[in-house]
Structure 1
């Protein structure tokens, strides 16, 4: 069905993340993924949208984070690099949000809709045809997995909704299409702004792109692992 082309982990929600060659995956998703978030004084998490859990924090997308052991290290838009355990006040000042702090996930999950988010090369190619001139890759969508599906049909992953897919040792249940927000068009992680991208996704695919999944069986995923078609995973499950 394809192979894992790229793996991404995001230590801090809504910041740029780090590219991996392998990742341990459990019920919560990739180990350490979105384990931290910027919380405001009301306890809402920094995001690209507003909801009962999230608060849109303009500028947060311009930060990046990686792990040093189990501690997130944050790169600021001005190039400063601070360990997360000493960066809270500096992040609040840079965002202009009094009382904001970097905090580890507790009872309320940081993930938007599901623990794992994936896109395929067929979807990226489909969208690229509709957005000429836009610098387009998986970083715009903050996906955990980019799957190279070769000559598969457009938006191949959408046909997997409701099915189970094996990725290396891991079995995923594809839950739903992923609803996009303004962050897809913001400049981040070396990509320039794409102000019309969200509207194109809305007009052509009902504001969705990629899919969300839950972990049925954990394990390790590595770049180059095979992706098995829906239906195969059930036959091989213990």
Structure 2
């Protein structure tokens, strides 16, 4: 029997990996994830993608989180905004000057996935409220954790309720089904500064101490569909 676990309060898409995203009223969900999410990234001459960390696929490029991007209804690429929220006329030229690297460009995803882990991240208000209590002297909102879906949970829902979803499917909107797999392993980006949010390393320390550094529910897309703010999400 289906269990209603919450209502979609906000939807987020991040057209350019590791930059700020855009809030949506509704969005199509396909096999890759939310349409247009992380479809672009800052890529260097070695093919590595701009990120908050260094790995086999990613290159740490400080400052990306101070930028933001919007896809809207554009089909020719995202609109990039500088740290003051002003649109950038020439993204490649701006990024090279801003990052002080001559080898970077704004690139569309090809054979190398732009996702760190799985394509869809869901975070509950119950868990977000716990973070606020655990780090009371800084500004906390969902942008620090970059979820695609912020789910409003009923009063009394315990934090980290997302852990109980793994191995099950959530259905919402028009046909969309998400197969929950595991939680994200959080890094220093949770406390990195971005517009309106100061540097706050205590956030990651609290999550590591209480929950092994894990936060949210990551999902694969089990069936395409459409999600909208206000939709109920039911767990099967």
Q: TM-score, normalised by structure 1?
A: 0.92
1:228 is aligned to 234
1:200 to 203, 206, 209: 206
Match of 2:14 in 1: 10
Match of 1:162 in 2: 167
Which aligned pairs between 1:37-56 and structure 2 lie closer than 5 A?
37-56=41-60
- Matches of 1:194 and 1:105 in 2, distance apart? 31
The 1:79/1:8 distance shift into structure 2, 3 A limit, reads closer
Say yes or no: does 1:62 pair with 2:66.
yes
TM-score (norm 2): 0.93
The equivalences for 1:144-223 within 5 A come to 144-151=148-155, 152-168=157-173, 169-223=175-229
Paired residue for 1:73? Answer: 79
- Structure 1 runs, 4 residues or longer, greater than 6 Å off: none
CA distance in 2 between partners of 1:106 and 1:20 (Å): 25
**2:108 is the counterpart of 1:104:** yes
Contact 2:177/2:222 (8 A) holds in 1:
yes
Give aligned pairs, total: 228
SS in 2 for 1:65: strand
Tell me, yes or no, if the aligned pair for 2:131 and 2:203 is still in contact at 8 Å.
Answer: no
Unaligned runs of 5+ in 1: 232-238
CA distance in 2, matches of 1:150, 1:192: 29
Task: Give the root-mean-square deviation of aligned CA atoms.
Answer: 1.3
Structure 2 residue 133 is matched with structure 1 residue 129: yes
Cα shift at 1:80: 4.0
Question: CA shift at 1:202, angstroms?
Answer: 1.1
Matching residue of 2:92: 88
Q: Residue deviations 1:147-201, cap 9 Å, x none? A: 0112222211111011111122311011111111111111214222212111111
- The answer to which of 160-169 and 22-31 deviates more is 160-169
